[in-house]
Amino acid sequence: MTSLKPSEPWYVARGRRGQELLDQGRIPEAVETFAAVLESLGSEAGYGRAVVLERLGRALLLAGDHDGAFARLREALDVAGRIAPSDTVRRLRCTLRSDLGDALRSVGRPEEARRAYLAALELGRELRDRRSEGVDQARLGALALAQGDTGEALERYRGSLDALRRLKEPAVEAVAWDELGRLYRELGDWPQAARHLREAVECERRCGPSLRLARRLLALAGVLREVPAGLEEAREAAEQALAVAQGVSPLAAEVWAAYGLLGEILPERGDLRELARRAPLIVEVAERLGPSPSLGRAVILGRLGRCAAAGGRPDLAATSLREALRVAERLPESEGQSDLSEMLRGELGAVEALLAPASSPRVTVGFGDASAPEPRGLEAALGDDGDSTAITILERTDTDYAFEPNLLLDGPRTRRVVSPADHPTPPAEDIRPVLVPGTRTWLDAEGRIRLVPPAGEPRVRVEGECTVLRRTSREVTLAGGNGLVWRLLAAMDGRAPWGAILAALSESERVEANRVISVLAGAGVVDLSGRPLGRFIHWTTRKGVIPAGGLEGDEVLRLASDRQTHGAGRLIP
């Protein structure tokens, strides 16, 4: 709480608190504070009331209440006009005229705004207030530029720079250089724009590292890209901006803007452009989730670590990944929780290896699919036993995480070998088996038959603000006994009963055929339901997949029921 000095009126401390809120960007709270002070003053007219009205008008203008701001500033001018003139009162009237110009400009009354700015400029010159003169010259320049008068805009911005340079305040002078540089950029005069923006950067450097300095370096780098032979200097400026921003606030918007600009300067660095595109969304979600431990926070912290690693900062990446792993390991056991922890451990290990003394200074971590390694023991499981068929089922589980409004992050990718049942039950002889529609079938380089049915629908689970999607897919590999397997695949057309298929085989082949068909059915490769096309049509035409484009009602009915239609939709066997 702001304390009241013995010599100050009571409203000064409360007004100072309102100004602090305004400077922090907490506009609604500032409006409420100034309104409360004004109400406490009652009908008392005087300098204090005029000051509070001016602050309230400024706050309302920033809040977007232009009519309210205009009314309060007019009232403040009326109050100030009835106070005995002094330098202090004239300074207040100068500020009020300038604020009134802002309010008039915001409601689309540029000529009246211009008159208000000119009145403020005249008062500032009478008071020899260089700061006020510089501010109002810049506002007149912005107004002229908005009206398309670039000649007056240049004149006004140069007058602003001349006035503000006399203050010997680098931060204020930097603003004036920056405004002129941006104006020259609008005019397409790249060398002049670069010269003025360099001056803005040098002034800002004297104030120490800040996000303002990072922004000025980024503006300079953007202009230098357009200057002949300026590409190398542009890269250096962008790298300086990145270093400054990361030193002040590693997750600030200026950090990702610097990565994006570097990606534009260096066309081969598409990873930096992708980082600039995705990272701000991740930071936004992280801020919304807050510090409370949750699955969503563990996922987001892990992805922030990946962003830092992709940007060449393994030190920042390690910090985020350690915190993500700490959160993940303390979560209640749930489907996929151990997979997430394992993924985070792997990424943390890779980053920590880079922090070792003899390591490379940069790690590349992409945003794409993190494919899981081939499970151990797969080759041994695929041994060839002569005429018998060795069947291996490789199950892959892909986990993804979704956050509102439009952020989808890839999660763990796990693969494991699934053992077939020891004594599978063969199908009944009247069942008509068929490969599941959409199954991919091919012969690999080692002569093994591979079958991959379509992936099933994802399992969806909501945990707070994080939606978890887990999709399981399978790949079946058959080694040995290829002749029998190919004959079975050819015979399973959905029309021949299993008994008829077996009858065409020798006695010894029937035992093996029953085993193979049972395992393939259990793996989801062979459909024994008798309605394979109906199930396929349901899967492909459900909402959010693909439309049943062009199919009439009776056609869908026939396909979905695996029957033929005759007449007006009547079904016959």
Instruction: Tell me which H or E stretch contains 402.
Output: strand 390-403
pTM of the model: 0.71
Lowest pLDDT segment from 9-18, 172-181, 209-218, 463-472: 9-18
Residue type, 460: V
pLDDT recorded at residue 4: 38
- Burial classification of residue 389, based on how many CB atoms lie within 10 Å of its CB (0-12 exposed, 13-18 middle, 19 or more buried): buried
CA distance linking residue 438 with residue 130, whole number of Å: 77
Q: How many CB atoms lie within 10 A of CB 474?
A: 17
Examine the pLDDT at 542 and tell me if it is beyond 60. Answer: no
Alpha-carbon dihedral sign for residues 259, 260, 264, 265? negative
**pLDDT: is 215 or 428 the higher one?**
215
Q: Specify the residue for token string 């890269």.
A: 235
> Where do we find the tokens 């009205």?
53
**287 CB neighbour count, 10 Å cutoff:** 10
**464's tokens:** 């707070």
Q: Which of 463, 439, 447, 425 is nearest to 536 (CA)?
A: 439
Gyration radius of the chain's alpha carbons: 36
pLDDT reported for residue 381: 40
Q: What is the pLDDT of residue 358?
A: 54
Residues 6+ apart with CB under 8 A from 557: 565, 569, 571
Q: What is the mean pLDDT of the chain?
A: 84
* pLDDT tens digits along 251-288: 899 999 999 999 999 989 888 999 999 999 999 999 99
Q: What amino acid is encoded at 252 in this protein?
A: A
d(CA 439, CA 465): 36
Each residue's pLDDT tens digit, 23-40: 888 999 999 998 888 888
